[in-house]
Amino acid sequence: MATYRWYIIGTRRDSETVQILGWSRDRIAALGRPGVIAVYYASSRRMAARLAKADRGFEIKWRKY
């Protein structure tokens, strides 16, 4: 069984690129982060990036380096 989380899509203060900022178990807490554009309920970073592309057209590098 997959664990679903609220993935936070937004921008950091030092960058203008849209990226995955992190995740939260609670939607309200996820929306309270600075720089949030959208939150998506997904099982992985890859799925969250795919949902963001389908919903808003964001090209997000979902792999964490």
Q: Per the domain annotation, does 49 fall within a domain?
A: yes
Q: Per the domain annotation, does 42 fall within a domain?
A: yes
* Residue 63, pLDDT score: 85
Q: What is the pTM of this model?
A: 0.89
Q: Which two tokens stand for residue 12?
A: 């950091």
Q: Per the domain annotation, does 63 fall within a domain?
A: no
**In whole angstroms, what is the distance from residue 57 CA to residue 50 CA?**
9
* Residue 15, pLDDT score: 85
Q: Per the domain annotation, does 34 fall within a domain?
A: yes
Q: Per the domain annotation, does 29 fall within a domain?
A: yes
Q: Per the domain annotation, does 47 fall within a domain?
A: yes
Q: Per the domain annotation, does 62 fall within a domain?
A: no
Cite the beta strand spans of 2-52 per DSSP E: 5-10, 19-24, 36-42
Q: Which parts of the chain sit beneath pLDDT 70?
A: 64-65
Asked if residue 30 lies in contact with residue 39, where contact means CB atoms within 8 angstroms, the answer is yes
* Residue 62, pLDDT score: 86
* Residue 65, pLDDT score: 52
For the chain, how many structural domains are there in total?
1
| DSSP per-residue codes, 7-19 | EEEE--TT--S-E
- Identify the domain containing residue 25 by its residue range: 5-56
Of the chain, the percentage scoring pLDDT greater than 90 comes to 78
